[in-house]
Amino acid sequence: MKDYLNYLISLKKILSIILFYLISTQVFSQIEDTSKVIMLSDTLDGFDNVSEEPENEIFEMQKSPWGAVLRSAVIPGWGQFYNESYWKIPLVWGLLAYYTSVWIKSHRLYWDNQEYYLNNKNINIIAEKLYKSRRDFYRDQRDEFAVYIGLVYFLTLVDAYVDAHLFDFDVGPDLYNNGFQLNVRFFPWK
């Protein structure tokens, strides 16, 4: 009993530390940094092609997110083509082709077993149960793959929207903050 109470007390301490951490990160992440950073020309280390942008210049996106969604809604994969994510198009078409083929096969087998079930009803009890269970299995599988088709279609719309928003996002190396990097090995013997 004493071990259980000690366990509860230590669990309470751990949970309070986690709660404090979550609250403090939420509070301090909302603080706005109003300080200005002044870069001297000698800190650029030879990057002469860097130009300063005026503060009143308005950023204009190169790709329209809703345009990408509409394109992807008309033809799945067209939004990915619009966003220049060409490698995603065969993935989308492959998933849709596979799920559609399984849906068509399950639909055909459902109707075949439905017909066999109705023809053997009240004639052969064993065959009736067999065809009924197979009919129910193929109906459930058909419905499951219809949901998969809908999910792939929906995810292509979401991907097109997000990819259009992130099209202008620069993922290159940060040329201004080439500071100290810490490399840690978890397995030093490798």
pLDDT digits (tens, 9 = 90+) for 45-68: 444 455 555 567 787 778 888 999
Q: Does residue 166 or residue 185 have the better pLDDT?
A: 166
pLDDT value of position 21: 61
Tokens of 94: 């492959």
Helix (H) or strand (E) holding 14: helix 2-28
Between 4 and 39, where is the model more confident? 4
Q: Give me the pLDDT at residue 95, please.
A: 96
Residue 43 resides in a domain? no
Taking only the tens place, the pLDDT of each residue in 142-175 is 999 999 999 999 999 999 999 998 888 777 766 5
Which residues constitute the domain of residue 71? 63-165
| Average pLDDT over all residues of the chain | 78
Question: How many distinct structural domains can be found in the chain?
Answer: 1
Backbone angles phi, psi at 154, to 5 degrees: -65, -40
**pLDDT one-digit tens code per residue, 87-117:** 999 999 999 999 999 999 999 999 999 998 8
Q: Percent of the chain scored above 70 by pLDDT?
A: 66
Residue 5: helix, strand or coil by DSSP? helix
Helix axes 65-74, 125-165, angle to 10 degrees: 150
In a domain, 104, yes or no: yes
